[in-house]
Amino acid sequence: MKNLLVTGGAGFIGANFIHYLLEETDFEGRVINVDKLTYAGVPESLADIEKAFPERYVFIKADIGDKDTLAHAFDKYEIDSICHFAAESHVDRSIVSPDEFIKTNIIGTYNLLELSRQIGGRMRLFHHVSTDEVFGSLGDDGYFTEETPYKPNSPYSASKASSDHLVRAYHKTYDLPVTVSNCSNNYGPFQFPEKLIPLMVLNAIEDKTLPVYGDGLNVRDWLYVGDHCSAIWTIMKKGRIGETYNIGGRNEMENIKVVEMICDYLDVIVGKRSNREPRRSLMTFVTDRPGHDRRYAIDSKKITDQLGWMPAESFETGLLKTIKWYLSNESWVNNVRSGEYLNWIKEHYG
């Protein structure tokens, strides 16, 4: 892989992956980052990469729904491999406005697959990054495996399920070299503050309400983003073409427990609230969202047994690293939460 196209590389997981790839692996090629720079695309997350690797990092502001612009990038940079992160990913937003999820997650993926097919043997690998939400909801027992039937319950998860099927179809029909990964809930540095963990961290610091959906007993398997990046690179280097690998953090946790841990850590790190009450007193239960899956849990035995990957972080160590990152990167937080930042992106990137 000499010229790796990373889609959505200014987003949360994509930015972490580019940092990991260029700073921590033996990858010697060039990274071409294509990102639409929606509200959750933050080029500032890669400012240090741009300075440190001027010959090996290229940024292109483009929508993967724009096939002509993608085709130009494929030709100009002689793309020979893809790691496809680009996706609309927030479940709540998909419930309110599903159209963008269909355009980006399905049509955008189709465009990438078609262009990859058209360049023939030059394409070494198309790795597609997906989610465990395509499997639907689990009961109190059991785990999602690579053989679990799909049963998406939100417009977001349905659009990701559709893109998964397209990727596999292009492998079977056109012999496109693909791998697929389905991951559990990610958390860590550079995550946009609409997601559970950064939202709760920042609200708790600022003495704001901590809204918890329903009874707070929905269960997720939490995966530290650095572990996710190492798993993806392991698959891209060692995975079998045409195979799917589940990536889990082996950290099942009820949402309410996650919020309580964040409160307790912050009470220790920055001290209790000005009124001396613990931050848990900020928690409040709100109406559950429609189609809220009760439990996700990943069986990642396949990637462990076949490729030797294991997560390095426990939930406790990963959460503590994440909280400290947000506390130490106030400028990044303020920028991404500011309407002025969106104006800055328009001025600098069109």
Identity of residue 120: G
Residue 277 annotated to the active site: no
Residue 156 annotated to the active site: yes
- In sequence order, what E strands does 184-312 have? 185-187, 210-213, 219-224, 244-247, 252-254, 283-286
* Annotated active-site residue in 35, 88, 132, 293: 132
In a domain, 213, yes or no: no
* Annotated active-site residue in 133, 221, 299, 313: 133
Residues 6 or more apart in contact with residue 182 via CB below 8 angstroms: 130, 131, 132, 134, 135, 144, 146, 164, 244, 245, 246, 247, 298
Residue 146 annotated to the active site: no
pTM: predicted TM-score of the whole model, two decimal places:
0.93
With the C-alpha atoms ordered 62, 67, 68, 71, is the resulting torsion angle positive or negative?
positive
Counting the structural domains of the chain, the total is 1
The whole-number pLDDT of residue 89 equals 77
In a domain, 257, yes or no: no
The whole-number pLDDT of residue 348 equals 56
Radius of gyration of the chain (CA): 20
User: pLDDT tens-digit profile of 194-244?
Assistant: 789 999 999 999 999 999 999 999 999 999 999 999 999 999 999 999 999
Q: CATH number for the domain including 163?
A: 3.40.50.720
In a domain, 98, yes or no: yes
Show the domain range for 142. 3-191+222-252+291-315
Q: In this structure, what token pair is assigned to residue 12?
A: 């949360």
In a domain, 116, yes or no: yes
Weakly modelled stretches of the chain, pLDDT under 70: 339-350
In a domain, 173, yes or no: yes
In a domain, 72, yes or no: yes
In a domain, 89, yes or no: yes
The whole-number pLDDT of residue 146 equals 97
In a domain, 209, yes or no: no
